[in-house]
Amino acid sequence: MNMENTAMDKALVPKDYKSDIKPIWCPGCGDFAVLNAITKALAFLELPREQAAFITGIGCSSRIAAYTSLYGFHGVHGRALALAAGLKAARKDLTVLVAGGDGDGLSIGGNHFIHACRRNMDLTYVMMDNEVYGMTKGQASPTTGADWSKSKLTPQGSGIRPLRPASLALTAGATFIARGFTGDPNGLARILVEAIRHPGFAFVQALSPCPTFRPEQMEWKRMVRGFEQETTSDPMEAARRIHADDGMSIGVIYRSDYPALQPGSGGVGDPRATLDAIESEFRI
């Protein structure tokens, strides 16, 4: 991260939140638009770069941390949320963004996802969902339709029903749940502004097409539309909307003011104090 001119960070524009590393995503990949939406949101919020960190897992989309000028950690497959929770516990002053794909977040990382939702720490998690494992050349992921038969591993379809990320997040206790689309980067940026401002665990499913392995997803731009209703704080109503929907409606679905877990004030102890106590035990 370039720490020069920190005093001028008030005037940062979206490109200032990008690094000089050129993304190696395929042409047309939706992940470019997620990067643009995130940098727009950060510029809108005038967030000083040294006050934010970006933690990611493994996969095409998880490369995104390196393409920003924030502090970042490109972590282990499926473990981004665990890393991010640890960072937030130790540095509650930081804005902690987390990102990864549907495979990273719902397969190997599925356990961390549900517990991050119920823990409700102040994190913003963007799941870039393209219903496929792109980096490993096109296998069915937890959000792939049961009948998708283009993978050599599942030539007759997986036969397994896909997870609904928003439904899972709601059931597990996330207090902010939204869905955006990379074909609407300004709308996605607006959602991200709300998500970052939300003082608990904010989950944003970003529909992000993979034109290389799921070229049919280029049709999503004709299928996506806004939710007809305003954001609800009623979990039963949110569940009804999520399950009545085909997964193509975008907007902020649910927001609750259930208090965020504050490290040091409740179930999670102050990690700094814990470390100090351990060190003092070993002091001669």
Taking the chain, what is the end-to-end CA distance rounded to the nearest angstrom?
39
Which residues within the stretch 33-72 sit at the binding site for ligand SF4 (CB under 6 A)?
A: 60
Among 17, 25, 54, 203, binds ligand SF4 (CB under 6 A): 25
Range 90-119, binding ligand SF4 (CB under 6 A): none
- The reply on whether position 31 binds ligand SF4 by CB under 6 A is yes
**Segments in 11-108 forming alpha helices (H):** 31-44, 80-90, 102-103
- Residue 214: CB minimum distance to ligand SF4, A: 7
Q: What is the C-alpha separation between 124 and 109, in angstroms, rounded?
A: 16
H or E element at residue 212 = none
What is the per-residue binding string for ligand SF4 in 215-234, x denoting contact by CB under 6 A? --------------------
Which residue in 12, 29, 84, 87 binds ligand SF4 (CB under 6 A)?
29
Packing angle of the helix pair 31-44, 185-197 (nearest 10 deg): 50
Identify the bridge partners of residue 178 per DSSP, sorted by sequence position.
204, 252
Give the closest residue to 83 by CA, choosing from 65, 67, 68.
65
Give, as one character, the DSSP assignment of residue 1: -
Residue closer to ligand SF4 (CB basis): 130 or 143: 130
Q: Which of 62, 130, 158, 205 binds ligand SF4 (CB under 6 A)?
A: 130
3-class DSSP string for 116-137:
HHHHCCCEEEEEEECCCECCCC
Which has the closest alpha carbon to 127: 141, 138, 137?
A: 141
Beta bridge partners of 52: 95
The residue from 134, 142, 183, 200 that contacts ligand SF4 (CB under 6 A) is 134
- Which residue number, 24 or 160, has a Cβ lying nearer to ligand SF4? 24
String marking each residue 176-215 x if it binds ligand SF4 according to CB under 6 A: ----------------------------------xxxx--
Which residue type sits at 238? A
**Closer residue to ligand SF4 in complex, CB, 61/175:** 61
Give the x-and-dash track for 135-154 against ligand SF4 (CB under 6 A).
x-------------------
How many residues of this chain bind ligand SF4 (CB under 6 A)? Answer: 12
Distance between CA atoms of residues 6 and 10, nearest Å: 9
Beta strand 95-101 with 52-56: parallel, antiparallel or unpaired?
parallel
- Residue 126 forms beta bridges with which residues? 99, 204
Shortest Cβ 70–ligand SF4 spacing (Å): 21
- Per CB under 6 A, the list member of 26, 43, 94, 172 interacting with ligand SF4 is 26
CB closer to ligand SF4, 120 vs 217: 217
Q: SS3 for 206? A: strand
Nearer to ligand SF4, 200 or 209 (CB): 209
Shortest Å distance, C-beta 234 to ligand SF4: 35
Residues that bind ligand SF4 (CB under 6 A): 25-26, 29, 31, 60, 130, 134-135, 210-213
